[in-house]
Structure 1
């Protein structure tokens, strides 16, 4: 009996002494911030917030954040599931109810129709999507969505044919909730992807974008309020609070309102934006070359281009932070800051009052429809520039609204009403650089050095500068590593990281101690070619810390093609060709029609002398993209290496038709003709290449050697004299010329 009592007391002691899962305030170790996840128990839920913050709760209730994701039931499902059928791109989806649930019968990943139960709703206006549970923890968003306004089913991408085996099919990666959506539609998300089994065990604290999604876990705050009562003072555990600096607030919102890459394994509110994410910069085809929206950019990347942002306007100046609604309707919103007598008058906008043309947003915030019916405005707040439209083909609000008019008309009207453009917009310098114009690098350098521009614009200019010969501009990129902007430093590392050399390691090593995680990780990747044993002693401690951050980053992105490709490139920097191949093979398992990856993989097979695999990969690219010239060119080189000359010539001819400006095609095709003694074709091909680039060194030498072989010595000498003139330090050309005299 005594033994039994002792046993029971022992059991009780074990359970009573069980420690509560704790979330300690994140501490900094020098510049390193932990990415430790926050226990779900520290998120108390919206009803707890409501007890003290009733007005804010009332505003938030029913908002897009509140309804970001819900369990599918009779209240949350807005669409009709009464036997409706919807057909798009040859696929018919049938929506119905069964056993108290909502179902769709539609095409699955095997190309056959199946019944799928709707488990969650996603969003609330102007469209609602529906989520299906798949095996291994995968949750998929249907491509067919519900138009809340028109009350009908519609295809999110009606003009885009997708085959069931493609990554973009609704049942695969492109519409996977776990990695494409969850981080921003729920609170305290942990993706929990297992690369070995390609399965998910995704968890969240709260299903929607709750109060604590923005303000952080409430447990410490509530405990402090209970403990101190009227004497409560903020302990700094809450985020996005009243009095936050405007730019800091924008960065806090940006986490979910920007197109970005994730770098931390968990978002835990520690540090700043660049400790967790790195934004998509201004690049085509995400943005037009002048920075206007093209693909979805989720607002942040547009807004930080604006003078509004530069002048400390923040999201909450226009939007109610909790309801997300505009603070005022119509021009009254803009007239909070802009004088009505100056701007809200036909003398400024030259349109009749109370018309669409008189609305500020229609000239300064034109928009586009995304996901079929979701109209989103460009938040860069720019003056329409029809002159840039004429130069570069970028859009402008004038001809965008007056669709029966041309850009020439718009520019003439602009000059008539406003005169010439009287100020320089950053796009005047950015566009020529992004388009790779001859003198574009000059404007980009000026833009990067202009500290009055936003960091986002300056970093975009650094990225665009990489379109020019990076090795020629290497000193510039190295200097940007010391820039005060982490965005600029990180972008410079992106450029230097793609140059396969260890020559600049001494400039890269100090960035292992950068105060932003994204920059440190980019620096580690750039140092990939440096053997760990050769890391200088003073950097070894930081090197090991960042190494852990880097591998966490790779794991975090291992379910993305880009993540696997980055891993492959890192191993290739280390000289591990086999690991590089494995990385690209895994990337293709994620997206089997990604031909950028397949082409890189084919080249690696070639380097590894796996010629059969290389040939098959090139042929698959051609099968999927029959007008993609580089695939024919690469396959031609492979056949030339294998002495399959006739087949090599056939592929080079096809490449030449598809890429008539590519000099290397002329060069290699000329050599192949020469090899089979088709001398006239060889000569003609090399000459045609020189018509495009008359001073091309490789073509000139190949033609000189061709004439030498054919006994046309004078022609050979004339070309060699030109080569000696162009390249006076090349002793080979001088020696060749002297041998012909």
Structure 2
């Protein structure tokens, strides 16, 4: 399997320079400092970070003594069966000599001395016997965990379909080689870092980067009562001490007093795709003190925010009007069994009047059919892990019009597979008329889809406090791909936004710039009320030395410094964690440590070409041109159709005055991404350097066929005609530039100079 990498938009440069491929890197001009007041709390915001002793978690049998009904609901649930020791009761699959073959790998399942084994391909490409230590989950599938050296536990790629009672491949469409991060024996299916935090109680990952080893610990093997409600020791002591006089002492989490949005956030720690910012979860603070959710981004969500990749529930639910109106998880789900509170449309009828909605006048389908079910129109879903169907919790109205614009799915054609989106939109208009309200996706989707006219809508969305926080934060990140004169001023205001999610997204964008212009705005965020924001701000201040930190922030700086490096250490078993440390070192001016960090990241994900592209750029910056060239060529060897790498290699050759080689690679880039105007511009400059004026002109004209209003191409063409003594043609190109960019005096000056030279 070739590890696919994102295709970055190639930015416009005025000269042939090496392409720096860094995600969300935006170059901004200096701005005059604005008056700024942080939203951070004045009192101490720093959490203790204490570890909760395992013996403070008493186990479900202690809870059962007083909470029998809740225990009965929980027993046998997905939480109860989240992880168990493998034995004759917990193992659901057949281990009686069965063999299963997928993607050229044959796995053999058998028993020996009462234990369960799988013989399958290991990390060396050879077949080995692996003893099953734990079971993982119960339905619709059950996975099996084996033990590796150095504390690693790995989830087998072949799982048991507990509904159909058969073995199946979790990822049947992906050929994964044994050396790849995605191979079951490596990072992609590693229990310690991918699973443990949510499948057991009081988990400490305990990873050591130097030895690449784990000493992972937990108090209770599964998702126990105390995984949600917190350690029970103090609660039990209070009950025993006070007896009938007991009243809540506030030692438990997720109680009847928990507010709706707080409850969602507490469930979210395990029901969202996220990055962890604390070394362990200890119930202190809020979700954003421990985790930061993935925003609505390309490859994770569809452009309109519908689920695409495996993002779980939180990211879609917080987009919904349900969440905005304080509907919470247990309004629909039993908190302990997790089963739905009602079957069919009765679930929705708790709030939505059946006479208005559970009728053909609304859904236009026969009563009691699949098409008449609320969830089939408003909660479409996708299959993950082979057979696990999960519904989108954004509760959206089907939008076939957006499907036509952005290629997003809609419930209509998802059900009527013989019809197309055009039909669906026509039927929608017949039945409901035009869309009668603006959804945030109308402004976000154009940006995620890369439409050139998306900037205005994104700016409105990120500043609209009536919209979901996740939509606003996502707009903050997406708009960084678009230039605007007032963008920095808007960003600086958003650093003071009441939404921590928006503040954090804004710091993410500004923090990646190689400048210290925003120091006065980042410093107050060292006292922000959320750990995630503080850590992101510390990273953004990476270009400063400790001596440059003002006295009134030195104490906070040292505290966040510890939080930051704890965060880096905790995530150093991930590629992203190692790259974050590398980029921080580059900010500090230590290029060698930065290079070593990227090399370290590549060591644990050898087929990750995004790392290679960045690493090649760093080699170039270090003037190690040979390594840079070799690294670009390694990407080409793995992904010969990936256009941007040819562009980058061509720029390298151009800088080294290897013009013929640069022309060859830039031509390769155009062949693989003919709709991108930038390579045409650079190729024309290369031809001009060789005084091949005919080829230079032809290349510019070909580029303008792709983008007739491209500023760089038009200017280069005008300059070409000026140098080749073709004033009429130069004047024509300049007139078009002036018409397109009337506020740029340089084009008018050029035209005036041209007139004087006639």
What TM-score do you get using the length of structure 1 for normalisation?
Answer: 0.92
CA distance in 1, matches of 2:748, 2:332: 68
Larger radius of gyration: 1
* Equivalent residue for 2:216, pick from 182, 202, 208: 202
Deviation track 1:576-615 (CA, whole Å, cap 9, x = no partner) reads 2111111111111121111111100000001101111111
CA distance in 2, matches of 1:91, 1:724: 63
* Equivalent residue for 1:169, pick from 183, 199, 204: 183
Q: What residue number does 1:189 align with?
A: 203
Q: What displacement does 1:722 show?
A: 7.5
Distance 1:295 1:724, change over 3 A: closer
CA distance in 2, matches of 1:616, 1:733: 42
CA distance in 2, matches of 1:470, 1:144: 50
Q: What residue number does 2:155 align with?
A: 141
1:639 matched to 2:653? The reply is: yes
Across the aligned residues of Structure 1 and Structure 2, the Cα RMSD in angstroms comes to: 2.2
- Aligned runs of 1:575-586 on 2, under 5 Å? 575-586=589-600
Distance 1:733 1:345, change over 3 A: closer
Q: What residue number does 1:231 align with?
A: 245
1:438 matched to 2:452? The reply is: yes
Q: What displacement does 1:701 show?
A: 5.5
Q: What displacement does 1:703 show?
A: 4.6
Q: What displacement does 1:716 show?
A: 6.2
Q: What residue number does 1:299 align with?
A: 313
- Aligned runs of 1:354-503 on 2, under 5 Å? 354-469=368-483, 472-503=486-517
Deviation track 1:409-456 (CA, whole Å, cap 9, x = no partner) reads 222222222222222222122212322333322222322333222222
Unaligned runs of 5+ in 2: 1-41
8 Å contact 2:304–2:445 — kept in the other structure? yes
- Aligned runs of 1:39-50 on 2, under 5 Å? 39-50=53-64
Q: What displacement does 1:391 show?
A: 2.1
CA distance in 1, matches of 2:671, 2:295: 34
CA distance in 1, matches of 2:731, 2:162: 76
1:573 matched to 2:590? The reply is: no
Q: What residue number does 2:339 align with?
A: 325
Q: What residue number does 2:620 align with?
A: 606
* Equivalent residue for 2:86, pick from 72, 76, 86: 72
CA distance in 2, matches of 1:99, 1:677: 79
Deviation track 1:148-189 (CA, whole Å, cap 9, x = no partner) reads 011000001111111111100000100000000000000000
- Aligned runs of 1:688-727 on 2, under 5 Å? 688-693=702-707, 696=710, 698-699=712-713, 702-703=716-717, 706=720, 727=744
Q: SS at 1:103's partner residue?
A: strand
The 10-residue stretch of structure 1 (555-564 or 631-640) with the greater mean CA deviation from structure 2: 631-640
Distance 1:243 1:719, change over 3 A: closer
CA distance in 2, matches of 1:347, 1:355: 14
Deviation track 1:511-542 (CA, whole Å, cap 9, x = no partner) reads 11110100111111111112221112211111
CA distance in 2, matches of 1:718, 1:456: 47
Q: What residue number does 1:557 align with?
A: 571
Q: What residue number does 1:350 align with?
A: 364
8 Å contact 2:727–2:754 — kept in the other structure? no
CA distance in 1, matches of 2:678, 2:538: 34
Q: What residue number does 2:30 align with?
A: none
* Equivalent residue for 1:247, pick from 261, 266, 290: 261
Q: SS at 2:481's partner residue?
A: coil
Q: What displacement does 1:676 show?
A: 3.4
- Aligned runs of 1:614-653 on 2, under 5 Å? 614-653=628-667
Q: SS at 1:120's partner residue?
A: strand
The 10-residue stretch of structure 1 (567-576 or 476-485) with the greater mean CA deviation from structure 2: 567-576
Deviation track 1:316-337 (CA, whole Å, cap 9, x = no partner) reads 1111111111111111111122
8 Å contact 2:734–2:747 — kept in the other structure? no
8 Å contact 2:400–2:410 — kept in the other structure? yes
CA distance in 2, matches of 1:605, 1:651: 19
The 10-residue stretch of structure 1 (528-537 or 213-222) with the greater mean CA deviation from structure 2: 528-537
The higher-RCO structure (CA 8 Å, 6+ apart) is 2
Distance 1:369 1:694, change over 3 A: closer
Unaligned runs of 5+ in 1: 1-27
Deviation track 1:548-596 (CA, whole Å, cap 9, x = no partner) reads 1111111111111111111112122222211111111111112111111
CA distance in 2, matches of 1:359, 1:687: 55
1:728 matched to 2:745? The reply is: yes
Q: What residue number does 2:672 align with?
A: 658
8 Å contact 1:724–1:733 — kept in the other structure? no
The 10-residue stretch of structure 1 (553-562 or 574-583) with the greater mean CA deviation from structure 2: 574-583
CA distance in 1, matches of 2:463, 2:717: 44
8 Å contact 1:36–1:266 — kept in the other structure? no
CA distance in 1, matches of 2:71, 2:329: 19
1:159 matched to 2:173? The reply is: yes
What TM-score do you get using the length of structure 2 for normalisation?
Answer: 0.90
Q: SS at 1:32's partner residue?
A: coil
Distance 1:654 1:140, change over 3 A: same
Deviation track 1:245-274 (CA, whole Å, cap 9, x = no partner) reads 111111100010011111111110000011
Q: What residue number does 2:273 align with?
A: 259
Distance 1:377 1:642, change over 3 A: same
CA distance in 2, matches of 1:350, 1:643: 68
Distance 1:732 1:203, change over 3 A: farther
Q: SS at 1:33's partner residue?
A: coil
Q: SS at 2:745's partner residue?
A: coil
CA distance in 1, matches of 2:683, 2:452: 28
Distance 1:708 1:449, change over 3 A: closer
CA distance in 1, matches of 2:503, 2:735: 46
Q: What displacement does 1:706 show?
A: 4.9
Distance 1:739 1:428, change over 3 A: closer
CA distance in 2, matches of 1:445, 1:649: 39
Distance 1:655 1:314, change over 3 A: same
- Aligned runs of 1:648-687 on 2, under 5 Å? 648-687=662-701
Q: What residue number does 1:536 align with?
A: 550
Q: What displacement does 1:728 show?
A: 2.5
Distance 1:715 1:449, change over 3 A: closer
8 Å contact 1:720–1:737 — kept in the other structure? no
8 Å contact 1:132–1:139 — kept in the other structure? yes
Q: What displacement does 1:719 show?
A: 6.0
Distance 1:683 1:350, change over 3 A: closer
Q: What displacement does 1:694 show?
A: 5.2
Deviation track 1:115-144 (CA, whole Å, cap 9, x = no partner) reads 111111000000000011111111111111
8 Å contact 1:723–1:733 — kept in the other structure? no
